[in-house]
Amino acid sequence: MSKRIFTQEQIHQLFKNVNVAKCSEKSITYGKDFKKRAIKQYNEEGLTSGEIFRLAGFDLQMIGRKTPKECLGRWNRIYQAQGSTGLSAETRGRGGGRPKINYQTDKEKIKYLETQVAYLKSENDFLAKLRASKKR
């Protein structure tokens, strides 16, 4: 993860580029067509990642010199695994973590909540005993 922060002026300049889908202070989301074209130029035409981004109108000093190589590496891995549809459906940073619990019945939900209450009560008892032992 990069530590660069884009100024409002830089964000405005990036939005002028047709290859930018979204942009915030911390990240740039590139358009699907740009990703596909970049992979084609990289794999078939032999252009370097920096050349591809420069030809697309990006200022490498603004976006970061390593950004093109990192993006193309990630996009190439996705392309090799899932094809061009994977590039348009890239969900980097999403879908991980603990799955949400979907209860089939109210009984299941009540049982889960009772278990949760029992756990929290025992945690409170433990913390109360810990505080009491520190006062001594």
Average pLDDT over residues 7-33: 92
List the beta strands (DSSP E) in 7-71. Answer: 20-23, 28-30
Residue 24 pLDDT more than 60?
yes
Residue 96 is which amino acid?
A: G
Span 35-53, pLDDT tens digits: 999 999 999 999 999 999 9
Q: What integer pLDDT is reported at residue 86 of this predicted model?
A: 80
pTM metric for this prediction: 0.63
Q: What integer pLDDT is reported at residue 89 of this predicted model?
A: 62
Q: What integer pLDDT is reported at residue 92 of this predicted model?
A: 58
Residue 100 pLDDT more than 70?
yes
**Alpha-carbon gap, residue 101 to 119, rounded angstroms:** 18
Report long-range pairs for 61-70 (Cβ below 8 Å, ≥24 apart).
62/6, 62/10, 62/13, 62/14, 63/14, 63/28, 64/2, 64/4, 67/2
Query: Where residue 94 falls among pLDDT bands split at 50, 70, 90?
Result: low
User: If you search the block for the tokens 């100024």, which residue do you land on?
Assistant: 7
Q: What integer pLDDT is reported at residue 127 of this predicted model?
A: 95
Q: What integer pLDDT is reported at residue 95 of this predicted model?
A: 61
Domain ranges of the chain: 8-88, 100-136
